[in-house]
Amino acid sequence: MLPLNPALAATFRPPVMEARRWLDGVSFPPERPLINVSQAAPVDPPPEPLRRAMAEAALNQPDAHLYGPVLGRPELREAVARAWSAAYGGSIRPEEVAITQGCNQAFCAAIQTLAAAGDEVILPMPWYFNHKMWLDMQGIATVGLRCGPGMVPDPAEAERLVTARTRAIVLVSPNNPSGAEYPAEVLRGFMELARARGLALVVDETYRDFDSRTGAPHDLFADPDWGDTLIHLYSFSKAYRLTGHRVGAVIASPARMVEIEKFLDTVAICASQIGQIGAAWGMANLGPWLAAERAEILRRRAATASGMAGLAGWRVKGCGAYFAWVEHPFDLASPDLARRLVAEAGVLALPGTMFMPQGDAEGARHLRIAFANADVDGIAALMDRLAGFRA
C-alpha cells in the first residue's frame, strides 16, 4: 500500500460534498423540489455585462491566457488598495495586497506564513470547516473559543486560551456559519490582545459586502501600524458571483507578502487571469448592482429571522450575511435530523456537528441554514416544511 500523510488522513471529508451524497437515491417531485440551503454560494451566474467583459478579455487580451504576476494583476491590486483605504479610513498600498485563488487559498497562504506543525491557532466556535481542515492538514492544533450572546466571541475569553504555542487568532465577520456581525469594539479588542501577545489577527471578511451595518465595520486599518498584527482576507466570489473563477485577496504587510508569494507561486503560480479581469471590471462598474444584491440578501435575512420566530421550539442564535445558526427542538442529533430533513421534508441543510469539535453537544443541537441560496418565496416554503416536520 502506498504511504499516506497521516495528518491528511485524519482530516474529515469536505462537509458540503458529504451532504450532497445524502441526495443519492432520493427523488423530489416537481411540485415539491429540493430546497438546498447547504452551501453558501450564489446560484446564479455573474450579471451579463460582467460576463461580456470577461468574454471580451478572453477573445481580445492575449495576457488573459498567460501566467500573470504571482501576487496578482497590478490593476486589481491597485483597485483593492484604493477601495479598502476609502472604505476603512486607512492607508493600504497595492504592495500590501495579493490576489489569490479564492479566499480559502488566502487563508491557507496566511496560515502557512504564521504557523507550523505543533503550533496553535484560536478559532471561535462554531468555526468555518475549511479553516479547521487546513489546520488539521498542517498538524496545527485548533483551539476552540466559545462564543457568547449573539454568537460574538470575547477577547477576554480568548486571552485565557493563549499559550506559548499560539500563533494567531482567526475571526470571520460577518460570520460563517453563525451570520454574526462582530462589533467594531470587539474586533479592536482582539487587535489589542493579538498585538500585546505577539500574535497575528486574521480577519476573514468574505461577506463584508452583505453586512447590514452602514459604514466601516471596524477601524483596524486606521491604525498606522496595522501591518504588524492584522492580516485581512476577502472573496470576490460572493460579491460578483465569481465562485467558479476563484478570486480572493489577502492584505498584509510587505514583509509578509514576501512569504505569501513563495506559497502562491508553489501551489498555483497565479490566480485566474480572466477571473481577476472580471473582479476589476466589477469593482469599477457594478457598484449600484452590488448595492441591489446587498438589499436582496438583507430581505432574505429578514424573512429568515421572521419565519424562524414563528416556528415552535426553534431558536435563532445568529443570523446575518448568508447564514442562520439555529437551535432545533428535537430529541435528535443534528446529523440524523439533517438526513431525515432531506428524505422527509425535501430540505438540505448542514448539521452543526460539521462546525464544532467531534462529540461537542452544541453541534448536535444546531443547524446552519444558508438562506441566501433561496429567495423570499423559497424561504417561506422552507419554513412551511420545517413547521410540518415531525421527528
246 φ/ψ sector (left φ>0, alpha ψ -120 to 50, else beta): left
Looking at domain 65-285, its CATH architecture is 3-Layer(aba) Sandwich (3.40)
Backbone dihedral angles phi then psi of residue 157, each to the nearest 5 degrees: -70, -40
CATH 3.90.1150.10 for the 6-45+289-388 domain, yes or no? yes
Backbone dihedral angles phi then psi of residue 385, each to the nearest 5 degrees: -70, -40
Positions of CATH 3.40.640.10 in the chain:
65-285
Per-residue pLDDT of the chain (391 residues; tens, 9 = 90+): 899 999 999 999 998 899 999 999 899 999 999 999 998 788 889 999 999 999 999 999 999 999 999 999 999 999 999 999 999 999 999 999 999 999 999 999 999 999 999 999 999 999 999 999 999 999 999 999 999 999 999 999 999 999 999 999 999 999 999 999 999 999 999 999 999 999 999 999 999 999 999 999 999 999 999 999 999 999 999 999 999 999 999 999 999 999 999 999 999 999 999 999 999 999 999 999 999 999 999 999 999 999 999 999 999 999 999 999 999 999 999 999 999 999 999 999 999 999 999 999 999 999 999 999 899 999 999 999 999 999 8
DSSP assignment of 22-43: TTTT----TTS--EE-S--S--
Cell of 157: 475569553
Positions of CATH 3.90.1150.10 in the chain:
6-45+289-388
Give start and end residues of each alpha helix (H) in 89-154.
Answer: 102-114, 129-137
Query: Which residues have a Cβ under 8 Å from the Cβ of 368 and sit 6 or more positions away?
Result: 126, 177, 323, 324, 325, 326, 349, 350, 351, 352, 354, 355
Torsion sign over Cα 327, 333, 337, 339: positive
Three-class SS of residue 248?
strand
Measure the CA–CA gap between 342 and 27, rounded to whole angstroms.
10
